[in-house]
């Protein structure tokens, strides 16, 4: 082999040279050693192999090649190995994908070349540590067994793989996930027995393995699950007694065989009577047990109080700041709240006025003064504590609250880049639309908003219905990621939590017709509002545009009229029609059309919308500049 000999390391499907573009990879690598001579090319070696740290090249290297050829083989091996950017948690999830990826390819958005799995479908990471804390893949048509490498996700708190076709046994390695609180494996094809280790998982609070083919008894260790709040073992093939409840059996509860007749379980105690000393011992035992329960309740209360800082403000008033790395001292925030002035107002919505406050250390927060907040609102402070527990990158973080006999304030992180309404419809003296907003930025906003609503609808227990989803309630952070605000506030303004109200909330133009007519809000009402926002992103026209009222229609009606004529693409702004991929625009229009259907049952759930938009966002963000990039370029020039 002469000096011109080389090796081609080709990434199958992408057809990109590994050495030429080490940032891309795919499911298999072809390693080929070729000898180039003036008249022909001689193939010396060709090996296909699954990506596994250069297996293909190792096999090719083992062939009988001359020294120059082997030098090129080894050089290509280094280039291909460097294409793997995934680290510890990403590799563990990749192995999980390989074992459960079904023929439908629902996890094709998980890319081996990504630096982090945090943007993968169904994966949520901690905002500070970037550790994977939640895997939520219901109804994803997964098939296969659960990879043992999931045990490496040491910070995992929720694992939701329900409504799939996962087989095999419930893995015992789950005991290594010491922070796991929620385990949803129901409606799969799991078999064998319940592992004993489930009963000793320290943080487990929710366990649902119903609707499988699990056999055998319930392990005795289940009786020690002190933190468990919800357990569902129904519709399996279990047998025996429930631990700690020898007579709790029978088909009506868990499908267990009926208990033995009472006569067989009784011991003949005829003629025996409780003596006075036995009654005394029992009384003392009950007394000590009650004292222990009271002490435990006091301890729990103290631990709960430690999660927040509280300052009393005289009669019936106080300021509470929830614990966190970025939370300021309560006294500093109290001083800032007391100094709020009209010049600090940055916005006003249906639930109150928003102020911007800057602390002495330079940190900035948003303070919302609630209006018309009922004094008799049910569990006001408990509701706020529940909202503070919500952690999602597309939801504005609640940091604290201040209550007094006359006012109520909510304290949030300040989101600096305004609202989607201000981005799409800037106020200019000439009445122009302002700078162009590219497709990558718009699809990012659509995807992030869908994720936020999916979290409220599908991940929260009980579910949260927003009731005022509009472009004014979607804020934009430094990276122009959307952050949904005002979630959960509708519940604070009511006397009950039935989602039925005499006065309809929400922003004109975004309200679902059934909500406007009957006053009953559901998840489908939020889906309708989301569809209007998607149309607003596509058309860059306000739902309250004067052209709609002139023709006695709304934005959804406008879309339906054009769709009947086969002209629905006319909804899209001309700038987008000229610059964005038409196939992606057509898919986004189809989603919007389904979301604003007059029949609530025909509107898709938000988790389904997320699945569709994620694929569009991945392709768009990799090829188009965003508003932030465009702004940065203009500033440099």
Binding-site residues for ATP, in ranges, read 369
Alpha carbon 429 to its chain's center: 40
SS3 per-residue string spanning 548-598: HHHCCCCHHHHHHHHHHCCCHHHHCCHHHHHHCCHHHHHHHHHHHHHHCCC
Crossing angle of the two packed helices 606-621 and 439-454, in degrees rounded to 10? 150
As to burial, measured by CB atoms within 10 angstroms (0-12 exposed, 13-18 middle, 19+ buried), residue 46 is middle
End-to-end CA distance of the chain: 53
Partners of 165 in beta bridges: 143
Residue whose C-alpha is closest to residue 424's, from 385, 360, 474: 474
Please name the residue ranges forming H helices in 400-519: 420-424, 439-454, 489-492, 513-518
- Tokens 């009577």 belong to residue: 273
Q: Which tokens sit at 482?
A: 């959307």
Among residues 114, 119, 413, 468, which one is catalytic? 468
How many C-beta atoms lie closer than 10 Å to residue 557's C-beta? 14
Q: 522's torsion region: left (phi>0), alpha (psi -120 to 50) or beta?
A: beta
Q: Are strands 206-208 and 230-232 parallel, antiparallel or unpaired?
A: parallel
Query: What whole-number distance in Å separates Cα of residue 167 and Cα of residue 343?
Result: 61
Query: What whole-number distance in Å separates Cα of residue 522 and Cα of residue 465?
Result: 6
Alpha carbon 408 to its chain's center: 30
Element counts in the chain: helices (H) and strands (E):
19, 24
* Active-site residue, 119 included: no
- Tokens 């385990």 belong to residue: 183
For 182-201, letters b (16+ CB in 10 Å) and e give bbbbbbbebeeebbebbbeb
Query: What whole-number distance in Å separates Cα of residue 407 and Cα of residue 385?
Result: 18
Q: Which tokens sit at 583?
A: 């196939």
How many C-beta atoms lie closer than 10 Å to residue 310's C-beta? 11
In the sheet that holds 6-11, the strands lie side by side as: 16-17, 6-11, 28-36, 41-50
462 prior amide bond cis, ω within 30: yes
Q: Are strands 6-11 and 28-36 parallel, antiparallel or unpaired?
A: antiparallel
Residue positions forming the annotated binding site? 369
Residue whose C-alpha is closest to residue 145's, from 185, 199, 181: 185
**Cα separations in angstroms, 127 against 205, 413, 414, 419:** 23, 14, 16, 22
Residue whose C-alpha is closest to residue 110's, from 624, 620, 615: 615
List of residues 6+ apart from 196 with CB closer than 8 A: 219, 220, 221
What are the catalytic residues?
Answer: 468
């Amino acid at each position: 082999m002469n000096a011109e000999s080389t090796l081609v390391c080709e990434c199958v499907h992408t057809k990109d040279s590994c050495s030429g573009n080490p940032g891309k990879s795919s499911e298999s690598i072809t390693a080929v050693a070729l000898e180039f001579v003036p008249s022909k090319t001689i193939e010396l070696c060709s090996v296909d192999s699954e990506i596994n740290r250069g297996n293909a090249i190792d096999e090719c290297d083992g062939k009988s090649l001359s020294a120059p050829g082997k030098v090129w083989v080894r050089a290509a091996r280094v280039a291909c190995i460097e294409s793997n950017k995934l680290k510890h948690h990403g590799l563990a999830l990749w192995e999980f994908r390989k074992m459960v990826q079904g023929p439908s390819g629902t996890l094709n958005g998980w890319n081996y070349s990504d630096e982090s799995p945090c943007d993968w479908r169904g994966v949520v990471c901690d905002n500070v540590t970037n550790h994977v804390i939640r895997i939520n893949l219901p109804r994803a048509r997964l098939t296969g067994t659960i990879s043992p490498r999931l045990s490496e996700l040491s910070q995992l708190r929720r694992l939701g793989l329900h409504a799939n076709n996962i087989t095999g046994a419930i893995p015992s390695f789950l005991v290594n996930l010491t922070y796991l609180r929620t385990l949803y494996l129901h409606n799969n094809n799991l078999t064998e027995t319940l592992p004993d280790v489930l009963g000793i998982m320290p943080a487990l609070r929710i366990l649902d393995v119903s609707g499988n083919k699990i056999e055998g008894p319930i392990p005795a260790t289940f009786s020690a699950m002190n933190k468990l709040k919800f357990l569902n073992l129904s519709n399996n093939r279990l047998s025996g007694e429930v631990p700690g409840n020898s007579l709790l059996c029978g088909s009506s509860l868990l499908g267990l065989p009926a208990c033995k007749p009472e006569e067989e379980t009784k011991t003949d105690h005829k003629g025996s009577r409780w003596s006075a000393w036995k009654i005394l011992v029992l009384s003392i035992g009950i007394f000590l047990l009650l004292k222990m329960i009271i002490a435990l309740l006091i301890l729990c209360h103290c631990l709960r109080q430690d999660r927040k800082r509280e300052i009393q403000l005289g009669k019936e008033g106080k300021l509470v700041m929830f614990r966190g790395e970025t939370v300021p001292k309560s006294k500093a925030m109290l001083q800032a709240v007391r100094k709020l002035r009209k010049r600090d107002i940055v916005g006003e919505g249906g639930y109150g006025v928003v102020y911007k406050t800057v602390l002495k250390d330079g940190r900035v927060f948003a303070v919302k003064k609630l209006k018309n907040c009922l004094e008799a609102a049910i569990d006001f402070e408990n509701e706020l504590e529940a909202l503070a527990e919500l952690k999602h990158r597309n939801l504005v973080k609640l940091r604290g609250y201040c209550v007094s006999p006359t006012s109520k304030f909510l304290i949030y992180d300040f989101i600096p880049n305004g609202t989607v309404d201000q981005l799409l419809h800037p106020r200019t003296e000439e009445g122009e639309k302002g700078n162009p907003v590219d497709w990558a930025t718009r699809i990012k906003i659509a995807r992030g908003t869908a994720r936020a609503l999916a979290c409220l609808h599908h991940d929260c227990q009980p579910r949260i219905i927003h009731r005022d989803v509009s472009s004014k309630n979607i804020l934009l952070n430094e990276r122009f990621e959307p952050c949904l605000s005002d979630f959960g506030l509708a519940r604070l303004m009511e006397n009950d939590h039935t989602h039925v109200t005499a006065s309809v909330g929400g922003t004109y133009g975004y309200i679902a017709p059934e909500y406007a007519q009957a006053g009953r809000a559901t998840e489908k009402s939020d889906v309708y509002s989301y569809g209007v926002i998607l149309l607003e992103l596509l058309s860059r026209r306000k739902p309250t545009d004067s052209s709609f009222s002139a023709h006695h229609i709304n934005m959804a009606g406008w879309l339906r009229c054009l769709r009947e004529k086969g002209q629905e693409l006319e909804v899209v702004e001309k700038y987008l029609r000229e610059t964005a991929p038409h196939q992606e625009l057509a898919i986004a229009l189809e989603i919007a059309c389904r979301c604003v259907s007059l029949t609530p049952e025909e509107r898709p759930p938000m988790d389904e919308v997320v699945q569709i938009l994620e694929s569009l966002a991945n392709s768009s963000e990799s090829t188009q500049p965003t508003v932030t990039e465009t702004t940065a370029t203009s500033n440099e020039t």
